[in-house]
Amino acid sequence: MKSYYLAPERIRLCDSLKSPQEGVIICDEKLLALYPELFDKSLAIYPLKASEKTKSWESLAGIYEFLAKNKLRRSEIIQVLGGGITCDIAAFAAATFKRGCRLKLHPSTLLAMVDAALGGKSALNHLGHRNLIGSFYPAEAVIIYPEFLKSLPEMELRQGKAEMLKSYLLCNELSEVNLQAGSIPNAEQIMEYALYKMRLCAEDPYDKGIRRLLNFGHSYGHVYETLLDYRYKHGDAVVMGIYSEVEQSYRKGYLPEADYQRIIEELDKYPLPEGLIRDVQDLDKEMVTRCLAQDKKQGGMVPIATGFRKVEVI
């Protein structure tokens, strides 16, 4: 991996729709329908139906077949347009096809703009576990076009706000996230949060130190997604995971009561979907523990007033 691909200047803000002019395109099929003018028909296009089931070996094989059919050379670019799922599997294909091709990401969801498309992680789901197979393979550029968010459903906007809330809890020097329905972060705030993540990733590209802070809420969150058969979205599950990790840390004495209350007050502003709390409470605790042991992010980071402290979450 070329670590300079994690430099913050690799993120570019784009104020107008621009069609990729070279390479091949992998895109979310919904984006293809919403913005047909964005796609240069002279380039080969591979549409993907974005769901967690898409992050599979079968889907990956389809992408490989598309790249081989179009005789993609390693020096050519795979242009990826879509949300986190599309970016995850397409980046994994780019990392492994011919041992690595050029890659540019054009995130189309808030979740992808502030989180999933940043930092160079790619992944597939396997054996019922989320993101169990993956690689570090940063894109040479991440191109953010905030206007995409105007066509994003409220539920999808909320998932991006969940990751922003996580970052705000880690670094309250960031501007506060407006969690009210209908609100859309402006370009400046999107870049603020994107740059925060990229700076941590540039400092710790292989996720062995400070970057692990960004896993806050994800150990439990991934387990809840899996055991509830992906009935709930990623961001919602992560917020629920933050509740669980904070509660565990407070009970074990790692988190002072004042900081615990401050975090809970912020979390309570987030509009969790109806039924999620009940469904999580109904999960078999032994099954949750077994899944936590398998999750790649197991072991958490919990924010406290004087910095950060690493704690076990089970």
Who contacts 45 (Cβ-Cβ below 8 Å, separation ≥6)? Answer: 24, 25, 26, 27, 32, 39
Residue 205 falls within a domain, yes or no?
A: no
CATH code for position 74: 3.40.50.1970
Q: 129 and 223: one domain?
A: no
Q: 44 and 119: one domain?
A: yes
Residue 281 falls within a domain, yes or no?
A: yes
**pLDDT single digits (tens) 121-130:** 999 999 988 8
**pLDDT single digits (tens) 33-80:** 999 888 877 899 999 999 888 999 999 999 999 999 999 999 999 999
Residue 159 falls within a domain, yes or no?
A: no
281 burial type by CB count under 10 A (0-12 exposed, 13-18 middle, 19+ buried): exposed
Residue 96 falls within a domain, yes or no?
A: yes
Across the range 161-176, mean pLDDT stands at 95
What is the tally of structural domains in the chain? 2
Residue 21 falls within a domain, yes or no?
A: yes
Which residues constitute the domain of residue 291? 216-314
pLDDT at 78: 98
Q: 110 and 242: one domain?
A: no
Q: 25 and 131: one domain?
A: yes
Q: What percentage of the chain exceeds 70 in pLDDT?
A: 93
Residue 208 falls within a domain, yes or no?
A: no
Q: Is the four-CA dihedral 202, 207, 211, 216 of positive or negative sign? A: positive
Indicate left, alpha or beta for 207 from its phi (over 0: left) and psi (-120 to 50: alpha): left
Where is the domain boundary, 103, 118, 151?
Answer: 151
Residue 229 falls within a domain, yes or no?
A: yes
Determine the Cα angle at 87 with ends 292 and 242, to 5°.
35
Residue 157 falls within a domain, yes or no?
A: no
pTM: 0.91
CATH code for position 237: 1.20.1090.10
Q: 37 and 147: one domain?
A: yes
From residue 107, alpha-carbon distances to 81, 110, 162, 176, 261 in Å are: 6, 8, 17, 22, 34
